[in-house]
Amino acid sequence: MTERIIKVGIVGGTGYTGVELLRLLVQHPRCELRAITSRKEAGMPVADMFPNLRGRIDLRFSEPAAAGLDKCDVVFFATPNGVAMQEARVLVDAGVKVIDLAADFRIRDVAVWEQYYKMKHACPELVAEAVYALPEINRAEISKARVIANPGCYPTAVQLGFLPLIEAGCVDAAHLIADAKSGVSGAGRKAETHILHAEASDNFKAYGVGGHRHQPEIVQGLTRVAKGPVGLVFVPHLTPMIRGIHATLYARLTQSIDLQALYEKRYANEAFVDVLPAGSHPETRSVRGANICRIAVHQPQGGDTVVVLSVIDNLVKGAAGQAVQNMNILFGLAEDTGLTQVALLP
């Protein structure tokens, strides 16, 4: 019996998450890329913009209206916030699975979403249906979804880091701290002053301390796991590197527990979460280009504070790789299909 080939479309294939999706999907044994859209670059060969794909893809960028997206099995939206919510309904009604890498369907409370994203939501009824797709928490829901809300990059690193503690109920969930750093690619492929080389290089700064868009997403996810209120201070930072997120997480222990055993047991069967040996310090370069989160857990001086170190590649486990992982779940494939790339060193 011939294995089914999944027909794939990508909306917004010119950004960093778009080209990362392409890099992963051209190596996926069960996918056929049917369409890659871009209004601005329509007609241009994809490999002309992204020479790393020469010899691997012969498609041209196409206008969304002429791309035949409704004939695909799944469509990824690698677009800015506010695009997928305008176009998802037509695709869903045509029987197409939708995976949104932006934030349009992540936050269940539409009023909160509108507050943080500064626009009116165009499709609130799909928000109610969409599945927030962090596989390590809700595979069963993902497998039955029509609309997938792919988690953000910071939220992936932070939630995976805190998850075992919250599930075990061994920390004060009202006072969590996430101190997270991201490479410049997290800002997207666009021309803005703060991400110019002369501005971001040889520099380090916090931003969004008063209220970052990923705050309510993280709190929503942790609240669901805790089955009660969660208090979180989340401070993101911009670092002078291209890829990577390093989240340093702090919580106060409320009971004595073997933290190393807790983390090792929780993630023992997770292909894409690697709990490092006790005393380790994970590095962002150890996950560069790979769909994996590496975690280390510490209890400094044997005190009542637990420190979790969580690293991911923001473009892979934090975006495109996790989206492909979710696609694999949707179509009943092994989760690591097409996702066994080893991280790049040096």
Q: Residues with catalytic annotation?
A: 153
Would strands 232-238 and 205-206 be described as parallel, antiparallel, or unpaired? antiparallel
Identify which of 291, 290, 256, 296 has the alpha carbon closest to the alpha carbon of residue 275: 296
CB 185 within 8 A of CB 16: yes
Helical H runs in 178-320?
197-200, 214-226, 259-266
Sign, Cα dihedral of 305, 164, 272, 236: negative
Token pair for residue 184?
């410049």
d(CA 6, CA 331) in angstroms, rounded, equals 8
d(CA 178, CA 162) in angstroms, rounded, equals 9
d(CA 320, CA 16) in angstroms, rounded, equals 9
The DSSP secondary-structure symbol of 45 reads B
Q: State how far the alpha carbon of 158 is from the alpha carbons of 101, 181, 218, 231, 318, in Å.
A: 17, 11, 7, 13, 11
Question: Hunting for tokens 């991201």 — which residue is that?
Answer: 182
The CA-CA-CA angle for residues 223, 225, 231, to 5°, reads 30
d(CA 330, CA 130) in angstroms, rounded, equals 13
Q: Collapsing DSSP states into helix, strand and coil, what is residue 206? A: strand
Sign, Cα dihedral of 333, 144, 313, 54: positive
